[in-house]
Structure 1
């Protein structure tokens, strides 16, 4: 929660300049380089590619990791390779079915902690590792992970509507591991990890969520910007509605990458039912803002307002989506 003396303009400026926020600007360059747009098959901009299969949707998600992250804690990098991809599948309203890994290392011994992390996470979440690619002649550790899944009904990044409430659902039972990575998964029992992810496809099946994304690199604020741009809307985030875990400043919480965290665009009449699903499993869920017409993502605190980003003036993902 914010205090009366919060310098919103300064906060917005610092967040806008933070490396975790700026890093997502590369998505637009990659999309352009590949000749893609939001209308391409798989719909770039979503958390996973979704391909219709006649009975629902096949989902494909992938994640590559920066070398410094892998080198600092190879076991945790392996765990995260599974965890973040499973969150992407869940964010789409899906359930993961298989994991593929791509590992580079100077030797099998050097790769062991990385592989242990992958194996341990796959076992904890109950999703099988089915193979991939391995190179034990590389000069340094490297990791990429892909996950396959299925959904009967999608949650996408493209369907938020003005008038919706923005709900943040985050597991607060964790701590920072490195950088701004807030992990609540390492001590959780497997049945809790699996049941928590199942909330999302259950919400999708019930038709309670209009749109959503998992909170990834860039945190709440960066993810809100991506959701806003994909849906062609504006989003307002109320700092007074944020509830960071004890001892964590709102500024850091806004840019943190939680192991379990989702932003959901929900019709006001469905908000209580959505929040109750998470609360029943000990996960904090509350409306932290609202979806508005336009293209501005703003921070508010009482009567004070500050522009964080206008995605029409300065595209973030640059997918060519029209604005509401």
Structure 2
């Protein structure tokens, strides 16, 4: 596939795409976070008012001197580890460094927890972890190993540091929504993973990730999120809920590879993909930074005040998620808190 933008949507395809977005398993799975956070007593208005570490972002941001330590963890589906163990190991590092970058940070080190049926079962996972650690330049410094289980499982945690944060809690009505995605890749079967990293040289991977802390430190943006398994629209929904805003996305403006199925693409997990918000005056500078490194970036929509996630195509407009009716992550601040923050 060759690079192109915008996303090609046929004249009769919009309603079918909307139906698939509303039914997206990647989006609805994010509701699991709300259940766990509620059980643990995390997130929500009380945490925001008390100054506690906010839950719902790509990493926990821990104040540390003049900056922040960033702490995150990723666990992987058993089916993914079984089907593609080397790539699962690679993703253990890749998705974690992406989360650090999404918050304006730089990675420091990772640790892993691996379960497998013997050393042979663990080998491809560990090989993938090692390859990504070396390519991204992030040291593996320890972890946990169990080679006496009946199936392969993997979890990887990361520590990073940011001088200035990008967060999921700081998007404001009136800002532009930007999508930046590396289209120089391919789908890696059987999952909806757009793989654009394993063949890239180390200098490219490190330089591309450096764009996010650069944007944060130049004050070009305050809000960003790594595009996850929820895809572009689902990730925008999580960003909107955490910031207590809405978002309207023009689907045809989303950067996409040539020949891709639009609905599948909108629900895909790219190896390098971010959403950022910015004031209109800062948008050209942000787009230019990504384009200079061969990463396709575009203005794809607007942050709104209506607490809904909407998609448009031409004159057509449909609501994908309505936060006035139900939450998703359950981690957003209340309208009262947002008003106080803005004062």
Pair in the same fold by TM > 0.5? yes
C-alpha separation in 1, matches of 2:157 and 2:112: 6
Q: Which secondary structure state, in structure 2, belongs to the residue aligned with residue 122 of structure 1?
A: helix
C-alpha separation in 2, matches of 1:6 and 1:125: 43
Tell me, yes or no, if structure 1 residue 28 matches structure 2 residue 20. no
Give the C-alpha shift of residue 10 in structure 1.
Answer: 3.6
Q: 2:63 aligns with which of 52, 73, 78?
A: 52
Tell me, yes or no, if structure 1 residue 16 matches structure 2 residue 22. yes
Give the aligned partner of residue 192 of structure 2: 180
Tell me, yes or no, if structure 1 residue 290 matches structure 2 residue 297. no
C-alpha separation in 1, matches of 2:80 and 2:332: 32
Give the aligned partner of residue 103 of structure 1: 114
Uncovered stretches (5+) of structure 1, i.e. residues with no partner: none
Give the aligned partner of residue 161 of structure 1: 172
C-alpha separation in 2, matches of 1:12 and 1:59: 35
TM-score, normalising length from structure 2? 0.92
C-alpha separation in 1, matches of 2:17 and 2:86: 34
Tell me, yes or no, if structure 1 residue 142 matches structure 2 residue 153. yes
Give the aligned partner of residue 118 of structure 1: 129
- The two structures, once aligned, show a CA RMSD in angstroms of 1.3
Give the C-alpha shift of residue 312 in structure 1.
Answer: 2.5
Aligned length: 324
Q: 1:62 aligns with which of 65, 70, 73?
A: 73
Give the aligned partner of residue 229 of structure 2: 217
Q: Which secondary structure state, in structure 2, belongs to the residue aligned with residue 36 of structure 1?
A: coil
Give the C-alpha shift of residue 4 in structure 1.
Answer: 5.6
Q: Which secondary structure state, in structure 1, belongs to the residue aligned with residue 173 of structure 2?
A: coil
Q: 1:304 aligns with which of 309, 316, 321?
A: 316
C-alpha separation in 1, matches of 2:245 and 2:9: 28
Is the Cα–Cα contact under 8 Å of residues 112 and 157 in structure 2 kept in the other structure?
yes
Is the Cα–Cα contact under 8 Å of residues 76 and 114 in structure 1 kept in the other structure?
yes
Is the Cα–Cα contact under 8 Å of residues 164 and 217 in structure 2 kept in the other structure?
yes
Within-5 A mapping of 1:240-259:
240-259=252-271
Is the Cα–Cα contact under 8 Å of residues 98 and 147 in structure 1 kept in the other structure?
yes
C-alpha separation in 2, matches of 1:80 and 1:6: 36
Q: Which secondary structure state, in structure 2, belongs to the residue aligned with residue 112 of structure 1?
A: helix
Following superposition, which runs of at least 4 residues in structure 1 exceed 4 angstroms of deviation? Answer: none
Question: More deviation in 17-26 or 268-277?
Answer: 17-26
TM-score, normalising length from structure 1? 0.97
Is the Cα–Cα contact under 8 Å of residues 279 and 285 in structure 1 kept in the other structure?
yes
Within-5 A mapping of 1:225-244:
225-244=237-256
C-alpha separation in 1, matches of 2:115 and 2:38: 28
Q: Which secondary structure state, in structure 1, belongs to the residue aligned with residue 326 of structure 2?
A: coil
Give the aligned partner of residue 260 of structure 1: 272
Give the C-alpha shift of residue 160 in structure 1.
Answer: 0.3
Q: Which secondary structure state, in structure 1, belongs to the residue aligned with residue 148 of structure 2?
A: coil
Give the C-alpha shift of residue 7 in structure 1.
Answer: 4.6
Is the Cα–Cα contact under 8 Å of residues 177 and 276 in structure 2 kept in the other structure?
yes
C-alpha separation in 1, matches of 2:12 and 2:204: 37
The structure-2 alpha-carbon separation of the partners of 1:191 and 1:51, relative to structure 1 and needing over 3 Å to count, comes to same
Uncovered stretches (5+) of structure 2, i.e. residues with no partner: 1-6, 339-343
Is the Cα–Cα contact under 8 Å of residues 168 and 239 in structure 2 kept in the other structure?
yes
C-alpha separation in 2, matches of 1:234 and 1:320: 12
Alpha-carbon deviations, 1:276-316, whole Å to 9, x = none? Answer: 11001000011001101121100111111011111221111
C-alpha separation in 1, matches of 2:270 and 2:332: 29
Question: More deviation in 77-86 or 38-47?
Answer: 38-47
